[in-house]
Structure 1
Amino acid sequence: MADPTGRRIFISTGEVSGDLQGALLVEALVQRSRDRAIDIDITALGGPRMAQAGAALMGDTTGIGSVGILEALPYVLPSMRLQRQAKRTLEISPPDLAVLIDYMNPNLSMGSYFKAHHPQVPVIYYIAPQQWVWAFSNQDTERLVQCSDRMLAIFKAEADYYRGFGADTTWVGHPLVDRYPAPADPVAARQQLGLPLDAPVVTLLPASRQQEVKYLMPVLLKAAQIIQARYPQVTFLLPVSIPALQASFEQGLAAHGLNGRVVSEGSQRAIAAADVAITKSGTANLEIALMDVPQVVAYRINPLSARIGYYLLKFDVPYVSPVNLVVNQPVVPEFLQWEATPEAIAAAALELLHSETARQTMRDGYAKMRAELGPPGVCQRTADLILDALPKKPCPKSRD
């Protein structure tokens, strides 16, 4: 029988980046609940990192995610199935509190479900979708605010944006500040990976989604060929975040004749060992920057999706990489869609490889970015705010 004094928290997120952020939150919730003598039970839609941190998974959402209109279509039905499965469980046993992390459309559905069926359950949106960067209309933002009792923002601009729509919003800072408190140690990382200390290392992070294997990875691998022609002694590392992508990474390395290997034991060491990282846009950009490793950012989607977004939806933002968005400056070079050519990407990476001035300029930008992400203790602050929001349990009646 469940402990009647225990508190139940449900967390909903998706994709690899959501699993990372969710795991950091679960770890902090577990620790702070122990410190405060609160018995909690965490269930989640998430991934293996969250499960390892202590959450009981209702479903794995790390493989369900995409960027682009056409790219999203294959994931609609799998996402709906997981949502239905979770809602059936929640209908029988609703939590005391729900936390939604990013994952726009599924979490809009989940938030609306709680407001309609369990209005007594507080809903906290943590790491809200980046409407403040690329909202096509105010309608989705208003829906996000309506389904959230409180929003915990990781960027200052995010907090200001949602406050403008009437949301009860607190800026907590970015959780990766806690995960990467200091620059990486490249010597230690290379020793652990068995790499020479005096030869260039380039780490490629081409994909955490299947669509990126198709549209972006070949471009990055061709850029790597250009770099290898210039620096024959270079070693390429490809950390794989989803085991299902490992075979594609290995085949890509071999097909392009690159000197390197796939790293399956996580990305942190492979990034730390690098002179330069060439990466897709996303949370990894912040991780690389906080590790103080120079980087080049690129992204491509289905050309038809890109044309729909650009010409019909008028999608036009100054930056896509979160590193640049935080300071509203071009700290790292971005190459998007038609500009993301192997030649352009390779040229930017080669500049970083042979120019100390270019590397130092980027690191100066990283320092400004870090200052804007908030002080350490983000995960603890966030966990405390969530635990504070748990509804008070009525005291059990004593028997005479």
Structure 2
Amino acid sequence: MTNPDRRRVFISTGEVSGDLQGALLIEALHRRAGDRNLALEITALGGKRMARAGATLVGETADIGSVGIVEALPYMLPTLKIQRRAKQRLAANPPDLVIMIDNMVPNLALGKYMRAAHPQVPVLYYIAPQQWVWAFSEQDTERLVAQSDRMLAIFKAEADYYQRFGGNVTWVGHPLVDRHPAPANPVAARQQLGLARDAAVVTLLPASRRQEIRYLLPVLLQAAQIVLAKYPGVTFLMPVSNPAMQASFERGLVQYGLPGRVVMEDSQTAIAAADVAITKSGTANLEIALMDVPQVVAYRINPLSARIGYYLLKFDVPYVSPVNLVVNQPVVPEFLQWEATPEAIAAATLELLHNETARQTMRLGYAKMREAMGPPGACQRAADLILDTIV
């Protein structure tokens, strides 16, 4: 076999979910490139998962993320420093392709730089920001489309939205379908965690961002206290996606007198073992649904950010949880900001613990959601379309 051709790819993303999606894409790119006798040199703004998948990190962005205007302020300077480093790397070694993943504000800035400094380098957006859900400005959508030579969408509604603005968009389906091809096995998960087969288990997923430790963690722990009072004997599991949060989770269990433990680096097993998950809104909602575990979703941000969004920016969407957004139906209960009280979250959790009909109704919604996420092979389809751009 002849020596493989070599191509340079730069990937830019942020936060824990972007790191996961970036890692899944990088693994698929390397597999499909090997089939084409093509060698890839991938550099990235991302996190540890992307590094393990084969990317050389120019800057770590998995911990730099927020929701809300006030919450974003502390991350402005670190983001600017990482952007400067990325631009220096791109100037010194222009890639054959730039791939953007979500992370709208930093990636809009990077896209503007690429168009001005390296107009010959194609820019591809994979998993575009969810403007189709909560666009405050169509101008941002127009900028995203103008900066992207091609867009690969993981949601059908995402593809339809960007096509309406003239985007060159292909719907590839959602990569998590491959990661969770079948419902979880709770018996095996409990055995792995040393739990009794018939134990009552509630898994808490309160935070992957620092702001969520402050605004959401106490609310979920208080809800867990109410559940425990009404359902004695329940065990609480708290998987940690970000090791920096381990101490806060452990202190929370002790402070609120909750029986259970923190689970390190095994979040899927902790979810699989659960009768119900109480979780923040985000990508984890989709994973929990694909694992067929009933869930209650909640989210809170800084009250000032919430008021700015609600009263000044007129932020008003029917759903926030991706599970509900995929099918545009209330599959899972979601409690946002002022509605996210410990009492409301606990009541919804207890309903799922006690009511088998409610559990089965949610699972029927999960089945509809899975179908709407597209067939297996999303990462492979995305990787093939990306490689077609640079061969």
- Residue 360 of structure 2 aligns to a residue whose secondary structure is helix
Shift of residue 4 of structure 1? 9.7
Residue deviations 1:112-141 (CA, integer Å, cap 9, x gap)? 111111111110000000000000111100
**2:259: which partner in 1?**
259
**2:337: which partner in 1?**
337
**1:7: which partner in 2?**
7
Is 2:17 the partner of 1:28? no
Q: What is the letter of the counterpart of residue 266 of structure 1?
A: D
- Residue 262 of structure 1 aligns to a residue whose secondary structure is strand
* CA distance in structure 1 between the aligned counterparts of 2:359 and 2:49, rounded to whole angstroms: 33
Is 2:324 the partner of 1:321? no
- Would you say the 8 A contact 2:352–2:359 is kept in 1? yes
Q: What is the letter of the counterpart of residue 54 of structure 1?
A: G
Q: What is the letter of the counterpart of residue 333 of structure 1?
A: P
* CA distance in structure 2 between the aligned counterparts of 1:389 and 1:9, rounded to whole angstroms: 11
Shift of residue 267 of structure 1? 1.1
- Would you say the 8 A contact 2:4–2:37 is kept in 1? no
* CA distance in structure 1 between the aligned counterparts of 2:168 and 2:51, rounded to whole angstroms: 30
**2:80: which partner in 1?**
80
Q: What is the letter of the counterpart of residue 205 of structure 2?
A: L
Shift of residue 266 of structure 1? 2.8
**1:398: which partner in 2?**
none
Between Structure 1 and Structure 2, how many residues are aligned? 389
* CA distance in structure 2 between the aligned counterparts of 1:264 and 1:104, rounded to whole angstroms: 30
* CA distance in structure 1 between the aligned counterparts of 2:314 and 2:89, rounded to whole angstroms: 40
Is 2:278 the partner of 1:278? yes
Shift of residue 110 of structure 1? 1.1
**1:173: which partner in 2?**
173
**Which has the higher mean CA deviation after the structures are superposed, 334-343 or 111-120?**
111-120
Q: How does 1:240-389 map to 2 (within 5 A)?
A: 240-389=240-389
* CA distance in structure 2 between the aligned counterparts of 1:126 and 1:81, rounded to whole angstroms: 24
* Aligned-residue RMSD, C-alpha: 0.9
Q: What is the letter of the counterpart of residue 40 of structure 1?
A: L
Shift of residue 265 of structure 1? 1.8
**2:138: which partner in 1?**
138
Residue deviations 1:60-93 (CA, integer Å, cap 9, x gap)? 1011000000000000110010010111011000
* CA distance in structure 2 between the aligned counterparts of 1:142 and 1:77, rounded to whole angstroms: 26
**2:161: which partner in 1?**
161
**2:128: which partner in 1?**
128
* CA distance in structure 2 between the aligned counterparts of 1:61 and 1:221, rounded to whole angstroms: 28
- Would you say the 8 A contact 2:200–2:233 is kept in 1? yes
- Residue 6 of structure 1 aligns to a residue whose secondary structure is strand
- Residue 198 of structure 2 aligns to a residue whose secondary structure is coil
* CA distance in structure 2 between the aligned counterparts of 1:119 and 1:107, rounded to whole angstroms: 16
- Residue 389 of structure 1 aligns to a residue whose secondary structure is helix
**1:100: which partner in 2?**
100
* CA distance in structure 2 between the aligned counterparts of 1:72 and 1:212, rounded to whole angstroms: 13
* CA distance in structure 2 between the aligned counterparts of 1:115 and 1:182, rounded to whole angstroms: 42
* CA distance in structure 2 between the aligned counterparts of 1:284 and 1:8, rounded to whole angstroms: 31
Q: What is the letter of the counterpart of residue 250 of structure 1?
A: E
Shift of residue 5 of structure 1? 3.6
- Residue 38 of structure 2 aligns to a residue whose secondary structure is coil
**2:17: which partner in 1?**
17
Q: What is the letter of the counterpart of residue 229 of structure 1?
A: A
**1:219: which partner in 2?**
219
Shift of residue 340 of structure 1? 0.2
* CA distance in structure 2 between the aligned counterparts of 1:389 and 1:140, rounded to whole angstroms: 25
**1:395: which partner in 2?**
none
- Residue 58 of structure 2 aligns to a residue whose secondary structure is strand
* CA distance in structure 2 between the aligned counterparts of 1:265 and 1:210, rounded to whole angstroms: 18
Q: What is the letter of the counterpart of residue 291 of structure 2?
A: M
Residue deviations 1:27-64 (CA, integer Å, cap 9, x gap)? 00011111111111111100000011111111110110
Is 2:158 the partner of 1:147? no
* CA distance in structure 1 between the aligned counterparts of 2:336 and 2:366, rounded to whole angstroms: 21
Shift of residue 232 of structure 1? 1.8
**1:196: which partner in 2?**
196
* CA distance in structure 1 between the aligned counterparts of 2:146 and 2:286, rounded to whole angstroms: 29
Residue deviations 1:348-377 (CA, integer Å, cap 9, x gap)? 000000111000000000000000000001
* CA distance in structure 2 between the aligned counterparts of 1:192 and 1:35, rounded to whole angstroms: 37
- Residue 57 of structure 1 aligns to a residue whose secondary structure is strand
- Residue 237 of structure 1 aligns to a residue whose secondary structure is strand
Q: What is the letter of the counterpart of residue 297 of structure 1?
A: V
- Would you say the 8 A contact 2:279–2:285 is kept in 1? yes
Shift of residue 199 of structure 1? 1.4
* CA distance in structure 1 between the aligned counterparts of 2:361 and 2:91, rounded to whole angstroms: 54
Q: Check 1:4–1:174 CA distance in 2 against 1; reply closer, same or farther (3 A cut).
A: closer
Any stretches of 5+ residues in structure 1 without a counterpart? 393-400
Q: How does 1:201-212 map to 2 (within 5 A)?
A: 201-212=201-212
* CA distance in structure 1 between the aligned counterparts of 2:5 and 2:350, rounded to whole angstroms: 59
Q: Check 1:365–1:4 CA distance in 2 against 1; reply closer, same or farther (3 A cut).
A: closer
* CA distance in structure 1 between the aligned counterparts of 2:383 and 2:147, rounded to whole angstroms: 20
* CA distance in structure 1 between the aligned counterparts of 2:259 and 2:295, rounded to whole angstroms: 20
Shift of residue 226 of structure 1? 0.5
Q: TM-score, normalised by structure 2?
A: 0.98
